[in-house]
Amino acid sequence: MISEVTPVRDIATALPEAARIFARAGIDCSCSTVESLRDACSAAGADVGEVLRQIQALTEEAQPAPARDWSSETARQVVSQILEVHHAHLKEELPRLEQLMNRVYEKHGKTYAEILKVHEIFFTLKDELEMHLRKEEVMLFPYVLRLEDAQVQGLPFPPCPFGTVANPVRVMIREHDSAEEAMQAIRTNTADYTPPANACLGFTLLLQGLQALEEDLRVHIRLENEVLFPKAVGLEQSCHSSPAA
């Protein structure tokens, strides 16, 4: 059972998801981490009770809820899911993985040539994803919500800054394809996220984090490509054809 005296290294090894909790608390899950959870929290100025509660919650999570039928939800509900779950995940994970990537690259770059390639792919992907999120949050999503409001409230069709919503949708889909290709290249260069036999904890956590990133991106992209974007196109067509338009 995990307690305040359990070494941070042991917790991170047994529960890879705990690495995100440690990062939020300012606890470094580096190769040399050996102190107990209590000592690590004390050094970081974190509340050991709260950190322990969050870690224990990982071991007590119930079975995943049945998959939600997002096609029957409103565009606003879908956008909220994307922002609150998937965008929030990327905004937390990309900086954390950046730190891990740099640490592993500095320590193991000369030994494992594939890390050089993974390092290059990751930072290109990170820059592209951060720009992608901004475009969605500042331009595309607000317009989609205005479309839905116009349809629901019988308001005039809102002016489209893109000519048609299909234009940014095509761009977003191309960027999704690029992100999936980048993750596949990372997967290939890490032998399906398999750490070397003598990998340190940091190396292992990096690969686990990259694998989790790919899994979340897959769900994120499917939700946008298969649900939100068709809804957006349909809303625009509906507004164009409505009497209020």
DSSP letters spanning 189-238: HTTTTPPPTT--HHHHHHHHHHHHHHHHHHHHHHHIIIIIHHHHHHHHHH
More confident residue, 103 or 64: 103
Distance of CA 205 to the CA centre of its chain: 15
pLDDT confidence of residue 109: 80
pLDDT tens digits along 62-79: 455 567 899 999 999 999
- 182/203 Cα distance (integer angstroms): 19
Please measure the distance between the N-terminal and C-terminal CA atoms of the chain and give it in whole angstroms: 62
pLDDT (mean) for 147-165: 90
Tell me the sheet residues that pair with 36.
7
- pLDDT band for 112, please (50, 70, 90 cuts): confident
More confident residue, 23 or 33: 23
pLDDT over 50 (residue 221): yes
pLDDT confidence of residue 245: 47
- pLDDT band for 146, please (50, 70, 90 cuts): very high
- For residue 83, the SS3 value is helix
pLDDT confidence of residue 126: 98
pLDDT confidence of residue 62: 47
Instruction: Give the CA radius of gyration of the chain.
Output: 21
pLDDT over 50 (residue 92): yes
- 12/204 Cα distance (integer angstroms): 10
Most confident of 154-168, 176-190, 192-206: 176-190
- pLDDT band for 240, please (50, 70, 90 cuts): low
- 208/97 Cα distance (integer angstroms): 10
Share of the chain above pLDDT 70, in %: 93
- Supply 2's token pair: 């995990």
- 7/38 Cα distance (integer angstroms): 9
- 101/203 Cα distance (integer angstroms): 8
Quick one: angle between helices 141-153 and 229-241, nearest 10?
40
- Supply 62's token pair: 């119930």
pLDDT confidence of residue 211: 96
Q: Supply the pTM of this predicted model.
A: 0.86
